[in-house]
Amino acid sequence: MNIGYRLRSIREEKNLSQGDIEQRTGLLRCYISRVENGHTVPAVETLEKIARAFEMPLYQVMYDGDEPPRALSTGRNGGPPEWGSVGKDARFLGKLQQCLAKMPEKDRGLLLGFAENVSRRKRAKLSA
């Protein structure tokens, strides 16, 4: 997923300018432009600010499928809990988010690009 393209398309769907997002988030317009053009990978906290500016939850900003995502099951309705929603996995996921937020922008982009390539190869292998 190209997060910059996704953010731009949501912003344009909502008829918002980069200036509107700047006013709602406090982020500089040039930073928003760099994110939308793929020059910068934003931290999770920054994505949360942008999601609030769009008046939508973060998961909707990150999801670009054709069908709406199914809700995470926490085991209440008989389904097993999803990975990262409870217990040890949730604590690990929280620590991972904190580490990514503290990581320099260049390193974060490298790591996320690597993860995207691994994911792409795995999907290609499964479809073959």
Q: Could you please report the per-residue DSSP string of 12-48?
A: HHTT--HHHHHHHH---HHHHHHHHTTS----HHHHH
CATH number of 1-65, picked from 1.20.120.610, 1.10.3720.10, 1.10.260.40, 3.40.980.20: 1.10.260.40
101 band by pLDDT with thresholds 50, 70 and 90: confident
The torsion region of residue 2 among left (phi > 0), alpha (psi -120 to 50) and beta comes to beta
Is 40 in contact with 34 (CB distance < 8 Å)?
Answer: yes
More confident residue, 105 or 69: 105
20 band by pLDDT with thresholds 50, 70 and 90: very high
Structure tokens that stand for 63 in this block: 């999801």
Q: Domain limits of the chain?
A: 1-65, 86-128
121 band by pLDDT with thresholds 50, 70 and 90: confident
Residue pLDDT, tens place only, 55-96 = 988 888 887 666 666 655 555 555 666 667 777 887 888 888
Nearest 5°: phi and psi at 63? -95, 130
